[in-house]
Amino acid sequence: MDIGIIGGSGYTGGELLRLLAGHPEANIVAVTSRSKKGQKVSDTHTHLRKIYELDFEDLSAEEVASLSDIVFTAVPHGTAMQVVPALIGSGVKVIDLSADYRLRTDVFEKTYKIKHTDPRKVVYGIPELHPDVAGQSFIANPGCYPTGASLAAAPLAKAGLIERAVFDSKSGISGAGAEPTEVSHYPNMAENIQAYKLTGHRHRAEIVQELTRLDGNISKISFTPHVIPSVRGILTTAHIFVKKDMGVEEVSSIYRNFYHDRPFIRLIKGIPVLGSVRGSNFCDIGFEIEKDSDRIVVVSAIDNLVKGASGQAIQNMNLMFGLPETTGLWMPATAP
């Protein structure tokens, strides 16, 4: 499989390269970066020294397409829609890691305040929720928060049980990208936790889209993100208010049935932690039912750069090519 990566200098680009280094079918043919053209990929991603002997190139979409069987676009939102049409037009398979194709066009335009120049119907690439990923030639790869939140709540949504859900998410700072900022400045981030976009984070639209697809009656979905002193990982604490009393076994069986054949979902008895998924494509899920209350607390843990981005993209790629979805991804977290 010849693979091109458009926009390879950021964290998701680096993570695609890290993971594809262990993929038995993957052959990287081009990694583009306008600003780093001509530089060694491993000067930016120093952990890839000796693993790749590639330089960043400044190629057009058509040039990358002509070399590749599949292209990953890891560019900012608003940019992807300028690149994707040419790629698709060239007949190459495409996975877009930006936000551009994740939402219905009208919702996208309202959420991102950008006119969409390439509206089209796309499958949203959480394979556990969208079995139709297999067979697609273009996939919109989901956001990191929506992956963790949707996987935590989907079984209860499917069962029509959710009255209201409050997703309180805690992310590692790598989600904010490779560029130094006030928030990512070590003295500001260490020993701290930064709540942000308390009510207006754009990823909420993806969560709403995924859960209402499963249950058209859910309307009360809240989401508040935080960054914590961690490089990788998203822990989502889903406070879910349900419509009927249930016991542990009943809820467990709803989750087990929903995810029974999904290799990357691990339903656990305790409470998930980032340490058990870091570097891996797993999503760990656990829950507890509050006594004398209508609340179930579901906790999910993912690595934001793997299951929340590049790993899930490769999982989608595997399915699009008819490979087992675990190909090249069946590795444990790096722990401790």
**DSSP codes joined into one string, 126-179:** -TTT-GGGTT-SEEEPPPHHHHHHHHHHHHHHHTT-EEEEEEEEEE-GGGG-SS
Measured from the CB atom, the residue of 48 and 149 that comes closer to its own copies is 48
How far apart, in whole angstroms, are the C-alpha atoms of residue 170 and residue 227?
Answer: 6
Measured from the CB atom, the residue of 191 and 249 that comes closer to its own copies is 191
Q: Minimal distance in Å, beta carbon 291 to its own copies?
A: 7
From 89, 135, 229, 324, residue interacting with its own copies (rule: CB under 8 A): 229
Measured from the CB atom, the residue of 107 and 228 that comes closer to its own copies is 228
Instruction: Name the token pair of 119.
Output: 């509206």
Q: Side chain identity at 99, as an amino acid letter?
A: A
From 23, 36, 45, 77, residue interacting with its own copies (rule: CB under 8 A): 45
**Going residue by residue from 197 to 216, which x/- string records binding to its own copies, judged by CB under 8 A?**
-xxx----------------
55 close to 38: Cβ distance less than 8 angstroms: yes
Binders of its own copies in range 237-266 (CB under 8 A): 237, 239, 263, 266
Instruction: Kindly determine how many residues on this chain lie close enough to bind its own copies according to the rule CB under 8 A.
Output: 81
Q: Minimal distance in Å, beta carbon 189 to its own copies?
A: 4
125 close to 140: Cβ distance less than 8 angstroms: yes
Measured from the CB atom, the residue of 180 and 324 that comes closer to its own copies is 180
Q: Minimal distance in Å, beta carbon 219 to its own copies?
A: 10
* Length of the chain counted residue by residue: 336
Measured from the CB atom, the residue of 60 and 334 that comes closer to its own copies is 334
141 close to 320: Cβ distance less than 8 angstroms: no
From 90, 105, 222, 253, residue interacting with its own copies (rule: CB under 8 A): 222
Q: Minimal distance in Å, beta carbon 157 to its own copies?
A: 18
What are the Cα distances from residue 126, in Å, to 148, 152, 283, 299, 308?
Answer: 10, 12, 12, 18, 10
Which window, 98-106, 154-162, 210-218, 220-228, contacts its own copies (CB under 8 A)?
220-228
Binders of its own copies in range 10-29 (CB under 8 A): 11, 14, 17-18, 21-22
- Kindly state the helix (H) or strand (E) to which residue 251 belongs, with its residue range: helix 248-259
Strand order in the sheet with 70-73: 27-32, 2-6, 70-73, 93-96, 138-140, 123-124
What are the Cα distances from residue 193, in Å, to 82, 141, 144, 229, 273?
Answer: 36, 27, 18, 7, 17
Is there a catalytic annotation at residue 283? Answer: no
The verdict on 114 binding its own copies (CB under 8 A) reads no
How far apart, in whole angstroms, are the C-alpha atoms of residue 56 and residue 59?
Answer: 9
Binders of its own copies in range 271-310 (CB under 8 A): 271, 273-280, 282, 284, 287-291, 293, 295, 297, 299
The verdict on 5 binding its own copies (CB under 8 A) reads no
Q: Is the peptide bond before 336 cis (omega within 30 degrees of 0)?
A: yes
Measured from the CB atom, the residue of 135 and 270 that comes closer to its own copies is 270
Please give the positions annotated as active site.
144
